[in-house]
């Protein structure tokens, strides 16, 4: 089944849900890229934020009858969705202890989608606890990340979820610090490298960030040379221009700067 068909099927499942659900139009393509590999397979799908219940039915219809759909919500009225065959857990997503206790009951999951309270601290706690308890090959996706820019969600100051997620991408590269011990920044935060050691990819979409986890992959890079006896070619990387003027990609301000490079000596 093609990606286009998967996306259209998902849209149809959303439209045909017997209960209400609000989604951004750009989400369906992102969902397809992140979750389509789970369709018609035995899987565990966890969604934070049940609200009107519509998305629970969407996921069950789209993923297929073998999917175990689990809803998380703070509102105890969400327990009514148990009558429709869903597993429901009531608790505060901003509380790490809630997640630790709940994951003991859920067990290994294949996908976690956070559509809960949308406050940055809630999104970070949900992400971190999900990564700690993720299965061998799992997806953790945080949606509605535009709240990082919203005035009524601004108590986080500069410590937004999106800034957290963007900084997480540095971890993917910082893993290679041992290859360049005298050139990389110091000191190394080994605690955070350990926490994210099984995250091998971070994908950004419109208002969604997906973290891909694979516990079987060795994510620590090593430098290799495919011809051990071949001489290294002359390096011309510093012989061109030594700077460039660019517009920094800030959507809320125009800032043209000059980025300096390293001159060839």
Angle at 115 between CA 111 and CA 121, to 5 degrees: 100
pLDDT, tens digit (0-9, with 9 covering 90-100), for 98-143: 999 999 999 999 999 999 999 999 999 999 999 999 989 999 999 9
pLDDT confidence bin for 191, thresholds 50/70/90: very high
First to last CA, the chain: 56
User: Is 230 part of any domain?
Assistant: no
Q: Is residue 244 part of a domain?
A: no
- CA gap 98, 90 in Å, rounded: 9
| Count of structural domains within the chain | 1
- CATH number of domain containing 148: 3.40.50.150
Q: Is residue 142 part of a domain?
A: yes
Taking residues 212-218, report their average pLDDT.
Answer: 94
Confidence of residue 181 (pLDDT cuts 50, 70, 90): confident
Nearest-angstrom CA–CA distance, 132 and 186:
26
Burial 224-250 (b: 16+ CB within 10 A, else e): eeeeeeeeeeeeeeeeeeeeeeeeeee
The tokens describing 66, both together, are 């073998």
Q: Residue 1's pLDDT is what? A: 66
Alpha helices of the chain — where are they, by DSSP H? 3-15, 27-35, 54-63, 96-106, 120-133, 161-174, 190-195
Is 130 part of any domain?
A: yes
Give the range of the structural domain holding residue 207, as residue numbers without chain letter. Answer: 3-214
Cβ proximity of 112 and 139 under 8 Å:
yes
Q: With bands split at pLDDT 50, 70 and 90, how would you rate the model's confidence at 2?
A: confident
Q: Is residue 168 part of a domain?
A: yes
What integer pLDDT is reported at residue 223 of this predicted model?
A: 86
pLDDT, tens digit, 9 for 90 and up, residues 54-72:
999 999 999 999 999 999 9
User: Where are the strands (E) in the chain, listed by range?
Assistant: 43-48, 67-73, 87-90, 111-114, 137-143, 199-205, 208-214, 243-247, 256-260
Q: Report DSSP state, residue 141.
A: E
**Is residue 225 situated within a structural domain?**
no
Distance CA 132, CA 143 (A): 19
pLDDT mean over 247-263: 90
Q: Which residue has the tokens 């519509």?
A: 54
Give the pLDDT score at 229. 86
Whether 265 has a pLDDT exceeding 70, the answer reads: no
DSSP SS3 for 185: coil
Whole-number pLDDT of residue 3: 76
């Amino acid at each position: 089944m093609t990606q286009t068909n998967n996306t259209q099927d998902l849209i149809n499942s959303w439209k045909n849900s017997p209960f209400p659900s609000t989604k951004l139009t750009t989400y369906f393509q992102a969902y397809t890229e992140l979750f389509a590999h789970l369709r018609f397979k035995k899987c565990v799908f966890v969604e934070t934020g049940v609200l009107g219940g519509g998305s629970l039915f969407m996921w069950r219809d789209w993923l297929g009858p073998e999917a175990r759909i689990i809803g998380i919500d703070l509102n105890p009225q969400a327990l009514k969705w148990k009558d429709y065959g869903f597993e429901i857990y009531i608790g505060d997503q901003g509380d790490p202890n809630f997640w630790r206790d709940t994951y003991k009951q859920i067990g290994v999951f294949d996908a976690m989608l956070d559509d809960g309270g949308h406050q940055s601290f809630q999104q970070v706690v949900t992400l971190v606890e999900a990564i700690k308890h993720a299965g061998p090959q799992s997806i953790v996706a945080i949606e509605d990340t535009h709240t990082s820019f919203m005035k009524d969600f601004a108590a986080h100051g500069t410590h937004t979820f999106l800034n957290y997620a963007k900084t997480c991408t540095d971890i993917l590269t910082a893993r290679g610090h041992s290859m360049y011990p005298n050139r990389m920044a110091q000191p190394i935060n080994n605690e955070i490298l350990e926490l994210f050691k099984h995250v091998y990819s971070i994908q950004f979409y419109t208002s969604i960030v997906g973290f891909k986890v694979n516990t079987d992959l060795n994510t620590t890079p090593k430098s290799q040379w495919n011809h051990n006896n071949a001489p290294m070619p002359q390096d011309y990387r510093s012989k061109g221009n030594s700077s460039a003027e660019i517009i920094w990609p800030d959507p809320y301000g125009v800032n043209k700067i000059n980025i300096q490079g390293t001159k060839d000596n």
